[in-house]
Amino acid sequence: MDLNYSAEELAFRDDVAGFVKQHLPMEIANKVLEHKRLGKDDMVRWQQILYARGWMAPAWPLEYGGCAWSPVQRHIFDEVCADAGAPSIVPFGVSMVGPVIMAFGNPEQKQRYLPRILSSEDFWCQGYSEPGSGSDLASLKTRAVREGDHYVVNGQKTWTTFAQWADMIFCLVRTASDGKKQDGISFLLIDMQSPGITVRPIITFDGEHEVNEVFFDNVRVPVENLIGEESRGWTYAKFLLSHERTGIAAVGRSKRELRLLKQIAAQELKDGKPLIEDPRFRDKVARLEIDLMALEITVLRTLAAEKAGHPPGPEASILKIKGTDMQQGLTDLMLEAVAYSGLPHLPMAWSGHWLGEHVAPEYALPLAARYFNFRKVSIYGGTNEIQRNIVSQMILGL
């Protein structure tokens, strides 16, 4: 296994870097690099720039409008974009439901939905978790009862990211109750403008409206919106989650944040000296950097296996665990570095009046909100505890 980039891959990296430098709007990059909030317009604007270049779906095959890039090319693309401050491509359409439609959808569904995902004409969200059905997703209770040419859906989904902006939601629903609880689950595509859908915001601890509750009250969904076979949704959900967990590692973003952490530690003072010169803090940074290097090597090994034709398996769970541990560790040390300058995302903090004579540096202001927000990364995509169970069962045989 060769972990060095080939000449062709280095040339590809230069091509991507040149495009991003020329076309990434500076105002969007500044928001990302300064940890400020992105709106839907920011995300869609960048996605449409990529779409115009033909780069919206790096992993999709050419026949569906994708790039058909190798796993290594996709890694390079993600790393270059993250380094420049490009927003991540919203995953729900391109990386999650899109591959499910390609693998299990019928020709009409592919023709209808895939082009609209590429163009960002349809903005998607994910309807998996429910109150009481998060880690134990198979216990979900949202029901879909068939009545003629429609399913009638009743139930509730929660922690639904970007539901307030979404045009479509892909949902796991229960269509039967016989047999194991994994049986009887189906995969439905639902128009968010359907009568009977209510979206209620959940304001998180950082003050952000990112997630929501979604209620379904006798929502009629055409039977043609069923993906694959009825009661096979659990199979499709596992297929989707294996792709989601690999991407959660986010090595490129973590490398960018590590660089920022070092810059912050060089500016913040402790006993009159830069914090980075404090042996204890420097050791914490060094441990994170070593772990990030090991994570990147593990990602490259996984990509090399995928390039050789082996789809992601339980190693996706390892990447999810270590990647999210890394992201939380970086937010921990950033907040430790700026101390009380990292105030919650509140108007009085941004005005500079909260601290009296002390005016917090601008880079410090969003860091408490970011710290709070990143508590979630070890939960979504399957909690890290569940991922450890997967590793123990599928790799260690326990």
Burial of 28 (0-12, 13-18, 19+ CB in 10 A): buried
What's the rounded Cα separation, in Å, for the pair 10 and 168? 38
244 is catalytic: yes
What's the rounded Cα separation, in Å, for the pair 265 and 309? 43
Q: Which residue has the tokens 């006798």?
A: 218
Strands 143-147 and 150-157: antiparallel
The separation between CA 324 and the C-alpha centre of its own chain, rounded to angstroms, equals 11
Q: Which long-range contacts (CB under 8 A, 24 or more apart) does 140-145 make?
A: 140/172, 140/173, 140/174, 140/185, 141/174, 142/171, 142/172, 142/173, 142/174, 142/216, 143/173, 143/174, 143/175, 144/173, 144/174, 144/175, 144/186, 144/188, 144/221, 145/175
299 CB-near residues (< 8 Å, 6+ apart): 75, 249, 251, 319
Q: Say which of 130, 244, 257, 315 is annotated catalytic.
A: 244
What's the rounded Cα separation, in Å, for the pair 253 and 262? 14
Which residues are the active-site residues? 244
